[in-house]
Amino acid sequence: MTGQAEQSLLLDHVDMRMVAADTLDPAADRNAIVQLDPDHPGFRDAEYRARRNRIARIALEHQPGTPIPHAPYTDEEHEVWRLVREALEPAHGRHACAEYLECVEKLELPRDRIPQLRELSEKVQSISGFRLEPVAGLVEPRVFLESLAGGVFLSTQYIRHHSTPFYTPEPDVVHEILGHAVTLGGERFAELNRLVGEAVKRTKSAEALERLSRVYWFTIEFGVLRERGEIKAYGTGLLSSAGELEVLGQAELRPLDLEAASRQEYDPTNYQPVLYCADSFKAMFETLRDFLLRWER
């Protein structure tokens, strides 16, 4: 298998929350149910679809701030989690920034099963004050981003289909946990996420929201930095994808210019050919923090 077909299997996730706002239904609420397209790996699997519906129902019936019911994962789905962890751990050792690795150690994620959102939310909240709340599927970008201001991360609970353990066409619990939840277990990461949410709340136009979403994409989702002379990932989209991490060196690295990033087009369905690189974690944190604090559009 070569070319685009091979890449599609290695591309671990596509975070469709960060696509242009005008491509989603503006009336969609925080619990819009995921619809599987005919080319989705689980489209013809009746049991998988039924389980996705049950998991979606958990989010639809959940009252924010109350304990999150457990999702009904199968042994097959726990095996998907194990396979992804086995692929990601050595990739993290080579390519993840030190701040992320410290967060992984603090959360002590299980390797043999998918952690339930409730247990993970309690751990994250005890560290940074952020809590996880379940959603049934994709949410409109403004809703997703504004929730961060209140220390809430809207998370899916379903996991990708077992037939493609290293590919998912939408953000699943692997991306949510190994990407976002882990970083929210770090106080500086959590602070940046809150500032993103607050900046979104101050954003008035669709054009400005799109620009801010791109800043989020090229930092929180796909940010890289230099650490002891090496390029390391801090973006959740990179850190939840072994495929993305292994091709990190092929991307064009540009200095961390957030005004430029806010105007940079991107394709969420492919490896990112352009990444914005900070000189250090401290430089990234201060640059992004100051940019978000000044944001008023």
Instruction: Dump pLDDT digits (tens) for 157-189.
Output: 999 999 999 998 888 999 999 999 999 999 999
Count the Cβ atoms, other than its own, within 10 Å of residue 33: 15
The 3 state secondary structure assigned to 2-53 is CHHHHHHHHCCCCCHHHCCHHHCCCCCCCCCCCCCCCCCCCCCCHHHHHHHH
pTM recorded for the entire structure: 0.89
Instruction: Dump pLDDT digits (tens) for 193-239.
Output: 999 999 999 999 999 999 999 999 999 999 999 999 999 999 999 99
What pLDDT band is residue 15 in, cutting at 50, 70 and 90?
low
* φ, ψ dihedrals at 69, nearest 5°: -60, 150
Nearest one of 15, 1, 34, 76 to 272, comparing CA atoms: 15
Token digits of residue 133: 């709340």
**Distance between CA atoms of residues 105 and 111, nearest Å:** 12
For 3-60+96-294, the fitting CATH number among 1.10.800.10, 3.20.20.140, 1.20.1250.20, 1.10.150.50 is 1.10.800.10
CB 231 within 8 A of CB 97: no
Enzyme catalytic residues: 175, 180, 221, 240
Domain ranges for the chain, please list them.
3-60+96-294
- For residue 211, the one-letter residue type is R
Token digits of residue 45: 């699997």
